[in-house]
A and B are shown apart, each in its own frame.
Chain A
Amino acid sequence: MSKRGIVLYLHAHQPFRVRQYSVFDTAFNHDYFDEPEYDTERNNEQVFNKVANKSYRPMNALLEKLLTDHPEFKVSLSITGVFIEQAEKWAPDVIESFKRIINTGRVEIVAETYYHSLAFFYSRSEFERQVDAHRSKIRELFGVETNVFRNTELSYNDDMAKWAEGYGFKGILAEGWDPILQWRSPNYVYRPAGTEKISLLLKNYRLSDDVAFRFGDKNWPEWPLNADTYNEWVNTSLGDKSIVNLFMDYETFGEHQWDDTGIFEFYEAFVGKWLANSANTFYTVSGAVDAFEPVGEISMPNTVTWADNERDLTAWLGNSMQQEAMRYIYAMEDDVMMTGDLKLISDWRKLQTSDHAYYMCTKWFTDGDVHAYFSPYESPYDAFLYYMNVIRDMRWRLHNDHHIGGLNG
């Protein structure tokens, strides 16, 4: 009989933000990601250093401590390729600390697209190349294999599960969204509709978001949340079921919830309390898949994500600017790949990172709720114009440097 467990999974990512790239840069400058001014939210180095100090360094230190103090503690991480590139450049010590915790053997790396892209929805060939690129990078850097898959923004549908099974993954992650689950609980392992071997782990969004979104919110009736209360909630939710899947952004710790909210102390205390009960443990995502047989089948024909109240992709692909931008970038695939120009291919892929589309989102902007909207640009329209100017410069490089493709307007 397997122990009842928590599956803690943290997602670490930083995009290469596009600088204020104007019409007058197009066909001259190809340094899309190099914001000259240091002190802005568009400067990738500045942002990475800031978040490294607030989150990556202290949280890795805490994870290292928890792994030392508690032999039962385990955690799963997804670390995007574009995160690793930035860390290697600007914070190599962060890479070293990841290596140390991964070497304990109790930290699993989750597979995903190297570029944190939405390629699955546009190009299966490019999508697979990005999954492979991520696997290779993880293998080369950390010496471990990936066995469980998550897609960008935890987007998921039945087709993706079938793909992941065919690709050899034993598990896949998704949101445990009520309209899909209905009477069922997210606290079991399921089998995706139309598959035979792969297992599905569903995020317990209430307990996850209590920490990720609400922990430091002084208007939340439960504020301030302490480890005892939260431990009780997790216990109640779990009951005699198998697992509680706590999935969240890595940056929850220190960046979304600042140090002064007490998030680090809270989490350390909570892990201690949870493991004080010898019936309890932690699982990695693979560990959970190995320990529990699926209890039933779940079907999600339409794409579900972990974002917003709608749990869909509208924050990325909801308006015509976002759809245009993605249409243009993916339309270049064949031409870009044909060049064999590694810099061009790398730039093209960095432009696929979903954050670029997110910055063009207008759904909160029009509600007037601009505080819910995080962007380094003045407006979604500016984000779109800079991106379009870059698209044209990409076409310029194809045309001018490689004599491939028309410029197309």
Chain B
Amino acid sequence: MLGWELPPHNSGGLGVACYHMAKALAQHGAKIDFVIPYTAKHPDIDFMTVHSATGLTPLERYGLGTYDSSSVLNKTLTQADIKDLKDMRGVQKCYVKFVENLITTINPDVIHVHDWLTMEAGVRAKELIDVPLIVHVHATEFDRCGSESGNPLVHEIEYQGLMMADRIIAVSNITKNIIVSKYGIPADKIEVVHNAIDVTSFDDGYAYDMRTYRYLEALKDEGYTIISTITRFTIQKGLANFIRAAAKAISKYDKLAFLLAGDGEQRDELIKLAADLGISDKIFFTGFVRGKQWRDAYSVSDVFVMSSVSEPFGLTALEAAYHDNAIIVTKQSGVSEVLNSIFRYDFWDEDRLADQLIGIATSPVLKNTLQQNVKYEYNRISWHNVAETCLGIYNSMIQRAAV
């Protein structure tokens, strides 16, 4: 399995998904060699072998970015300098070399790669040993850029990887449709396997003590509804629409407060927008949160909004559901395909979101029903199902190769 990050050295959801998927696969009997592009200890991982392709520290790897493909990427691997580990392309070239050596010693039955970062290595490995290549798409360049643009080189790598794959796994129908419509890949080559949530990972002795966001708790005592999102502040996340919808909702019903946890290049713009709309005191910018502050952000919140313009899946909505939130997600978010007891809206439809927010805030019955029912749903969504589906795909590929 070829990946780019694993917890605790992850900068987002990709590493979390890879971790849980691999863990569940291992529990179902798969033997996994997992390659990452940096060197670090992973104390929680004893269910597979982790291989480090370079001597980079996790911090140096963060510096390259994972989600931001726009940063100066213009070299083909032939042009890239394998010794230049400050350059993303140099690291990727190093990663390919490492994989070339590794596969000849471990002789895998299948190669499972995650996103564009490792697609070239997967394609190269398939060329060398001719085993089935499974390309798992968590996000495409179209998602990351929130528009038609994006880095042409990344588009090219994604296209090559998708073409060469024996089988493609997409994390949602939304992602599948992008792969079909933007890259011209036949739909029957793509299987949708939704991500899941491992609720046991939350069993770490955490208990909500109502302290971290004491001011918000006091607001709740006054009858306020707390609405949150936890995300990167980038254009893809649709936060400007969210804040405008917030202003519309507040103009009709003002006992609403909004917790925006996270950071990103759009932060200043959002602060300014809230001030322009005259709702600065209703919006709480926490900055990047982790650990208890992160858990508490979910816990203090009544309603969780995922406002993404394009979200392949959206694990945070499941995490929020686990912490007793009513969930509102855009129709452009993959997670909306696996949950029913939620509100949906189009990312641009600010009036609709405002309506839904007021509806939940003014009806305790509605709020409680949404919060309760969504819990039954995510309980059904398990990484074991994901592992079973993946194993099924592996086996069918191996059999087909043998024929």
Docked-complex contact B275 and A320, CB < 8 angstroms: yes
Known: A407-B224, A408-B281. 9 other contacts (CB 8 A): A23-B213, A27-B214, A27-B218, A328-B281, A381-B271, A384-B280, A393-B215, A396-B218, A400-B218
B212 contact set on A, CB distance < 8 A? 24
Chain B contacts with A in 205-227, Cβ cutoff 8 A? 212-215, 218-219, 222, 224
Q: Which residue of A lies closest to B255 (CB)?
A: A409
Main secondary structure, interface of A, reads: helix
Alpha-carbon distance A325/B280, docked complex (angstroms): 9
A392 contact set on B, CB distance < 8 A? 215, 281
Q: Which residue of A lies closest to B221 (CB)?
A: A407
Chain A window 326-369, contacts with chain B (Cβ cutoff 8 Å), 1 for yes, 0 for no: 00100000000000000000000000000000000010000000
Docked-complex contact B219 and A407, CB < 8 angstroms: yes
Docked-complex contact B281 and A409, CB < 8 angstroms: yes
Selected A-B contacts with CB under 8 Å, 27 pairs: A23-B213, A23-B285, A23-B286, A24-B212, A24-B286, A26-B214, A27-B218, A320-B278, A321-B271, A321-B272, A323-B275, A324-B278, A325-B280, A328-B280, A381-B267, A381-B268, A381-B272, A385-B285, A388-B281, A392-B215, A396-B215, A400-B218, A409-B224, A409-B254, A409-B256, A409-B257, A409-B282
Chain A contacts with B in 85-136, Cβ cutoff 8 A? none
Q: Which residue of B lies closest to A321 (CB)?
A: B275
Alpha-carbon distance A152/B214, docked complex (angstroms): 36
Q: Given A28-B214, A379-B268: A22 and B287 within 8 A (CB)?
A: yes
3 A-B pairs with least C-beta separation = A409-B282, A320-B275, A27-B214
B284 contact set on A, CB distance < 8 A? 23
B66 contact set on A, CB distance < 8 A? none
A384 contact set on B, CB distance < 8 A? 271, 275, 280
Docked-complex contact B218 and A399, CB < 8 angstroms: yes
- Rounded to whole Å, the gap between the CB of B278 and the closest CB of chain A is 7
Is residue A406 contacting chain B, with contact meaning CB distance below 8 A?
yes
Docked-complex contact A26 and B271, CB < 8 angstroms: no
A26 contact set on B, CB distance < 8 A? 214-215
Q: Which residue of A lies closest to B280 (CB)?
A: A324
B46 contact set on A, CB distance < 8 A? none
- Rounded to whole Å, the gap between the CB of B165 and the closest CB of chain A is 44
B281 partner, pick from A22, A23, A391, beta carbons under 8 A: A391
Chain B window 259-284, contacts with chain A (Cβ cutoff 8 Å), 1 for yes, 0 for no: 00000000110011001101111101
Docked-complex contact B287 and A319, CB < 8 angstroms: no
Docked-complex contact B272 and A320, CB < 8 angstroms: yes
Q: Which residue of A lies closest to B219 (CB)?
A: A407
Alpha-carbon distance A293/B352, docked complex (angstroms): 68
- Rounded to whole Å, the gap between the CB of A121 and the closest CB of chain B is 18
A24 contact set on B, CB distance < 8 A? 212, 286, 293
Docked-complex contact B271 and A27, CB < 8 angstroms: no
B254 contact set on A, CB distance < 8 A? 409
Residues of A within 8 A of B (CB): 22-24, 26-28, 319-321, 323-325, 328, 362, 379, 381, 384-385, 388, 391-393, 396, 399-400, 406-409
- Rounded to whole Å, the gap between the CB of B18 and the closest CB of chain A is 31
Residues of B within 8 A of A (CB): 212-215, 218-219, 222, 224, 254, 256-257, 267-268, 271-272, 275-276, 278-282, 284-287, 293
Alpha-carbon distance A321/B279, docked complex (angstroms): 10
- Rounded to whole Å, the gap between the CB of A380 and the closest CB of chain B is 8
Alpha-carbon distance A400/B222, docked complex (angstroms): 12
Docked-complex contact A406 and B278, CB < 8 angstroms: no
A391 contact set on B, CB distance < 8 A? 281
B271 contact set on A, CB distance < 8 A? 321, 381, 384-385
Q: Which residue of B lies closest to A409 (CB)?
A: B282
Alpha-carbon distance A320/B274, docked complex (angstroms): 9
B282 contact set on A, CB distance < 8 A? 409
A320 partner, pick from B224, B257, B276, beta carbons under 8 A: B276
- Rounded to whole Å, the gap between the CB of B189 and the closest CB of chain A is 46
Alpha-carbon distance A338/B214, docked complex (angstroms): 24
- Rounded to whole Å, the gap between the CB of A350 and the closest CB of chain B is 19
- Rounded to whole Å, the gap between the CB of A27 and the closest CB of chain B is 4
B218 contact set on A, CB distance < 8 A? 27, 396, 399-400, 407
B287 contact set on A, CB distance < 8 A? 22-23
Q: Which residue of A lies closest to B271 (CB)?
A: A381
B285 contact set on A, CB distance < 8 A? 23, 385
Q: Which residue of A lies closest to B293 (CB)?
A: A24
Alpha-carbon distance A26/B287, docked complex (angstroms): 14
- Rounded to whole Å, the gap between the CB of B228 and the closest CB of chain A is 12
Alpha-carbon distance A384/B280, docked complex (angstroms): 9
Alpha-carbon distance A254/B130, docked complex (angstroms): 76
- Rounded to whole Å, the gap between the CB of B145 and the closest CB of chain A is 24
Q: Which residue of A lies closest to B269 (CB)?
A: A381
- Rounded to whole Å, the gap between the CB of B31 and the closest CB of chain A is 45
Alpha-carbon distance A409/B257, docked complex (angstroms): 5
Q: Which residue of A lies closest to B296 (CB)?
A: A24
- Rounded to whole Å, the gap between the CB of B283 and the closest CB of chain A is 8
- Rounded to whole Å, the gap between the CB of A231 and the closest CB of chain B is 48
- Rounded to whole Å, the gap between the CB of A368 and the closest CB of chain B is 14
Alpha-carbon distance A23/B259, docked complex (angstroms): 10
- Rounded to whole Å, the gap between the CB of A298 and the closest CB of chain B is 36
Docked-complex contact B219 and A324, CB < 8 angstroms: no
A396 contact set on B, CB distance < 8 A? 214-215, 218
Q: Which residue of B lies closest to A393 (CB)?
A: B215
Alpha-carbon distance A44/B12, docked complex (angstroms): 39
Alpha-carbon distance A388/B279, docked complex (angstroms): 11
Alpha-carbon distance A22/B214, docked complex (angstroms): 13
Q: Which residue of A lies closest to B257 (CB)?
A: A409
Q: Which residue of B lies closest to A24 (CB)?
A: B212
Alpha-carbon distance A388/B272, docked complex (angstroms): 13
B280 contact set on A, CB distance < 8 A? 321, 324-325, 328, 384, 388
Docked-complex contact B275 and A324, CB < 8 angstroms: yes
- Rounded to whole Å, the gap between the CB of B268 and the closest CB of chain A is 4
Docked-complex contact B281 and A319, CB < 8 angstroms: no
Alpha-carbon distance A379/B268, docked complex (angstroms): 9
Alpha-carbon distance A320/B281, docked complex (angstroms): 13
B213 contact set on A, CB distance < 8 A? 23
Alpha-carbon distance A324/B280, docked complex (angstroms): 7
Alpha-carbon distance A36/B279, docked complex (angstroms): 30
A325 contact set on B, CB distance < 8 A? 280
Q: Which residue of A lies closest to B224 (CB)?
A: A409
- Rounded to whole Å, the gap between the CB of A321 and the closest CB of chain B is 4
Q: Which residue of B lies closest to A396 (CB)?
A: B215
Alpha-carbon distance A338/B213, docked complex (angstroms): 27
- Rounded to whole Å, the gap between the CB of B150 and the closest CB of chain A is 28
Q: Which residue of B lies closest to A399 (CB)?
A: B218
- Rounded to whole Å, the gap between the CB of B121 and the closest CB of chain A is 39
- Rounded to whole Å, the gap between the CB of A327 and the closest CB of chain B is 8
